[in-house]
Structure 1
Amino acid sequence: MTERINRRSMIRSTAVAGAAGVGGLALGGPAQAAAAPSLVQADGTPVLTPQQFGAVGDGVADDTAAIQAAINAARSQLNKIVVIPPGQYKVTSTLVVGDHEYETPGQHLNRFVLRGYGMFGEEASKLIFDHDGVGLRWEASLGGIHGVAFDAPVKTATNVGIHVARTANTDDTDVTIVECSFLRFQRAIESVGRGFLFSKNKVAVCTTGISISWPTEGVQGSGVHVLPYGLRKWLITDNHFHSNFDAIVFTGAPDGNFRGAVISNNLLDIGRRLFKGSLTNSTISGNVVENGTGNAIVQIDAGGHNLTITGNVLGGFDTTPGAWDPPRYAIHFTSGVSAKNVTISANTFNWIDGSGIQFDQAADKVSITGNSFDHWNLSRSSIHGVVRTNADATRFAVLGNAISANPNPAGAPIRIAGTLAESTVVGNAFETDALVAAGTIGADSFVETEPGRFTKLQLAAAKNGAARVVSTASVVVANDNYGSYLVEGAATVGGGPGVKGGVEVVAVNASGAAATNLLCATNSSNDVVAFQASVAGLIPPTDNARDLGSATANIRTVYTRATRLHPHTVSTLPAAADSPGALIHVRDGHDGKPCLAMSDGTAWRRVPLGNPIG
């Protein structure tokens, strides 16, 4: 209902309002005015100003009664609009925009608008609350506050800029606050109920910027109006929070019922904490927090389901020590949360005292992709990581993150206290020897342990592990330039760490012919021998000490084009006792001529050769 009033008409109305206000004073002041003079614009929209009721707007005179009178007068109008002309208005008690819908039924619902001339940092229309407690109590639903500056000379233990709350149908508020500013409040805005749009505002030097909660009584709806779905519709975008302890706090709702929140594009310089409380089915995106401090910049205390946290810059400050100590975590799912269906992507985490992302409880179906972690674990703790879970991590996808060095070199960046199950950790760039430290890495998980590329793959068990390596390098004969698939052991006992076997493809000539080497470690040392298969045949290791088949693992049938026996001489015959059943060729075994010989276990028995064929 606010689009029918524009800046030009406001200026015109204000000029008339000023004249009307002066006339009112000449007749004895606003206390004697029975009704407000109605200003009607060209489009028929009535507009009221505090000046019509005697407001001065010089920051010295007490304008409380005049502003309240303008608000009260607007309640009976079809379009309930009160314009605050440029000036400074001293207020000494709480202003109240009443709940017109229930106090005076049938009077055009509640769509009340309080509009000033401010824009973000501009404070043309300023209300100075020279008292402790609530500055403006907003009881009307579907209302809007535009361009008004709320200022307290001193922050107290209890002062509040705007308190949004109803006494009937208490859940249904839907307030809009745009292009306003708030300075020196314990809580800039305290809103109780469903529906909140807060955009292009400045909140400075407040303990809490926005506090949102659910009413404890007076909820009159059903179905989607009650918990759990009642707590929905939160748009908090494009705001500047300066030197607040907490920018946004959702509090009081059971079981994480706050849902449907969009918290985006907010700037916190000297920001401390962006969000704390209950959250589910929501997104936190595009926010920038510098000089954060405390426990966590984003702290999820309940809910934690179906969340997207993306494109944020979250951290402390790039000086030592900065304005204050850096935060312990960038994102923290606390002990009341079992996170599920969470996406954390494309964020920059920096200057964190402990872990970048912390899960106190088990978490399931979590995607952590494309983030940058820099200057983390500034405390040099042995327990912190860029991602840390104090219990099981199931169906985690940790992909493509850039991770700077841990100030504690002994610590792995990803730390799972329980079991890492059904998960993939691949494509991350990191600077430590190990990437994952877990109580157990399940056989159904896949972890890449070399930074940045597919050079080494780690599986807890042999399950469908495979790699394809394509080389475009120039051919160098006898070099391993086509690729390989190797199995490496990490055990410190037995044969010790090293390659245990695998396959490598090598070049054998300059024309591009290749051979495949079948690799295996020996049983007496950790040496690796190779059997080479190529177009030339199967070539055994260079020491030629391996058999094809053995006494206990015989080859039963061999189909071959020809068999070529090694030529022995009588003087070089092997021991017959060691070769029962062996057939050999003896070059000079029959009167100095060739023959075959077979061992019966005691001696070599001559097998004379017959006549030549053909």
Structure 2
Amino acid sequence: MEDQRGPEGQRQKQGQGQGLEHRHHHKSVDNGATNDGDGRISRRQLLKTMGTAGIAGIGMYAAGSAGWPKTAAAATSVNSYYDVMDYGAAGNGMTDDRAAIQSAINAAQSAGGGVVFLPKGTYAVSGTLTITGHNVGLAGVGGSSVIQCTFAAGNIIYFGGTSTNTGTINNFFKDFTITSNVKKTSGAAIFGEHAQRSVIEGVKADDPGMTGFNLYDGFYFRYFDNCLVSNVQVFCSHSGITANGKTDQTWGANLWITNGSRINTNVTAGSVGLYFGGSCGGIVIESTDVILCETNALIDTTLSGVLNREIFFNECFIDSAGKHGVHVKSNGVALLHFNNTWLASSGTTASGGYPNGNNLHYENTSAGLNDIMMSGCRVFNAFGSGVYSKGGKWTITGSSFHNNGRGASGGHGIILTDSTVQGANISNNTISLNGNSTLGQGIRIHTGVNHYILTGNLVRGNPTAQISDGGSSNKVVANNLTT
């Protein structure tokens, strides 16, 4: 029976016997430099002998770093550094380097952790690279370090394990590119399972300038705890970043996607930029651009059967989806919060437009009190509506809704369509120029919607009506400027 103590409890058990004695000096340093008496060299000596490229990714994963777990042994020596060339990699784009890179990974794992270094080159791999040890990662020198997949099905890099007892802590992937010279039919560029406190930073998954959109999935986190995706670029044909937790919610907490990341699927049919498939909580998408996917962000319960807990978008660009910008399916999330975020131009394909091409499409058709909050957002240029809601409890303040309803069927700035909407506070927004002569209202409230406040809004220039209020009697509709 699986241990139900959750990620930290599992790690406390696993970490026993993995103390700081795991020191490995793979590369000797002989430059006239002396060490500190225990086999370690100083930071100054390291910079002299290895250079900055040689220590890519080491500093933030050193033992004792704040915020990293104390339950598994960290790599304690700056010499835990494994150059794949030393293990036989050619890096010429033709030789199969999978075995050589895997040998370097295995050596780092045997030593308790280390940096597997990818010098400048293109490393063809004919099968999955697998990391099953703590504190092990791959680091390159940016776009000139390339892992090139040569097989159609399956993950390119896998880390973690299939159970809580075989998961990993502190894996890291930094400053390299992953491409494929064949069209992938399944698998992710990087797939993590039961992964804790792991980082993907500065990684580019495919490059349309080189190979087109050959990757299938970008990054996939199945069962995770406290992971970070930072400053990445993902170009793929199916799903950019996917995450889901476990049904019992012991896994699926805290994932940050941030720092100038970008996701693009070239509006491939069925594609999703960000996909949160259930049992996810503490999800933060910040300073990220999700553009030109069929659905830019999809939130549902398909992968776990349990709703997601809380998802936050902060200072993001959600732009030019073929269908919906953000699509929340029934009971998809308990708390959804947009802050200072741009939602624009959804419904750009022939299948888009009202009601199938909305910037935010919310389908919580049950009577649950799921919360959606929008503050300081700019919601515009949808072929359908800016916000289309069939449920939930809404707070929309200080935002701008304009030029939605650009499609032939028109659309609205904000539409609340069903009695499953459990309340709304729509205040102090600017809502203008939405729709066309056939269908175009600033705010539309359907029959059955109850318990709402519309106040302090500037609603003007919407072709067929400014505010169409057909809701029930428990409401405040006052002090809106509609001329």
Instruction: Give your verdict on TM over 0.5.
Output: yes
Partner of 2:138: 114
Residues 1:126 and 2:160 are matched in the alignment: no
Q: CA RMSD in A?
A: 3.2
Shift of 1:67: 0.4
Query: Where do 1:210-249 residues align within 5 Å?
Result: 210-215=241-246, 226-227=248-249, 230-237=251-258, 238-244=260-266, 245-249=271-275
| Aligned AA (2:413) | V
In 2, the alpha carbon distance for the partners of 1:446 and 1:145 equals: 53
Conserved 8 A contact 1:81-1:114: yes
Partner of 1:446: 477
In 2, the alpha carbon distance for the partners of 1:271 and 1:344 equals: 22
Partner of 2:156: 135
1:408 to 437, 449, 454: 437
| Aligned AA (1:388) | I
| Aligned AA (1:200) | N
Partner of 1:424: 454
Query: Where do 1:377-396 residues align within 5 Å?
Result: 377-381=405-409, 384-392=411-419, 393-396=421-424
Conserved 8 A contact 2:373-2:395: yes
In 2, the alpha carbon distance for the partners of 1:44 and 1:280 equals: 40
| Aligned AA (1:135) | I
Conserved 8 A contact 1:435-1:449: no
| Aligned AA (2:312) | T
With the length of structure 2 as denominator, give the TM-score of the two structures. 0.72
Partner of 1:180: 203
Conserved 8 A contact 1:394-1:423: no
Partner of 2:341: 312
Residues 1:331 and 2:360 are matched in the alignment: yes
Conserved 8 A contact 1:291-1:323: no
Deviations 1:333-365 (A, max 9, x none): 22456453321122222221211111122x33x
Conserved 8 A contact 2:296-2:319: no
| Aligned AA (2:444) | R
Conserved 8 A contact 1:283-1:307: yes
| Aligned AA (1:73) | A
Q: Which has the higher contact order (CA 8 A, sep 6+)?
A: 2
Query: Where do 1:80-95 residues align within 5 Å?
Result: 80-95=114-129
With the length of structure 1 as denominator, give the TM-score of the two structures. 0.57
Shift of 1:412: 3.0
| Aligned AA (1:340) | N
2:231 to 200, 218, 221: 200
Shift of 1:394: 4.4
Partner of 2:328: 300
Conserved 8 A contact 1:333-1:358: yes
Query: Where do 1:26-175 residues align within 5 Å?
Result: 44-98=78-132, 100=133, 110-118=134-142, 123-132=143-152, 133-139=154-160, 140-165=168-193, 170=194, 172-175=195-198
Tell me the secondary structure at the aligned position of residue 85 of structure 2: helix
Change (3 A) 1:286 1:324: farther
Residues 1:352 and 2:386 are matched in the alignment: no
Change (3 A) 1:71 1:427: same
Deviations 1:481-503 (A, max 9, x none): xxxxxxxxxxxxxxxxxxxxxxx
* Structure 1 unaligned spans of 5+: 16-40, 101-109, 217-225, 453-614
Conserved 8 A contact 1:309-1:344: yes
Shift of 1:376: 1.2
Q: Count matched residues.
A: 387
Deviations 1:145-186 (A, max 9, x none): 111211111332214211212xxxx4x533210000101311
Tell me the secondary structure at the aligned position of residue 100 of structure 2: helix
Change (3 A) 1:85 1:420: same
* Structure 2 unaligned spans of 5+: 1-19, 21-41, 56-74, 161-167, 207-213, 301-307
In 1, the alpha carbon distance for the partners of 2:473 and 2:47 equals: 65
Change (3 A) 1:57 1:13: same
Tell me the secondary structure at the aligned position of residue 206 of structure 1: coil
Shift of 1:399: 1.8
In 1, the alpha carbon distance for the partners of 2:378 and 2:118 equals: 42
In 2, the alpha carbon distance for the partners of 1:142 and 1:430 equals: 53
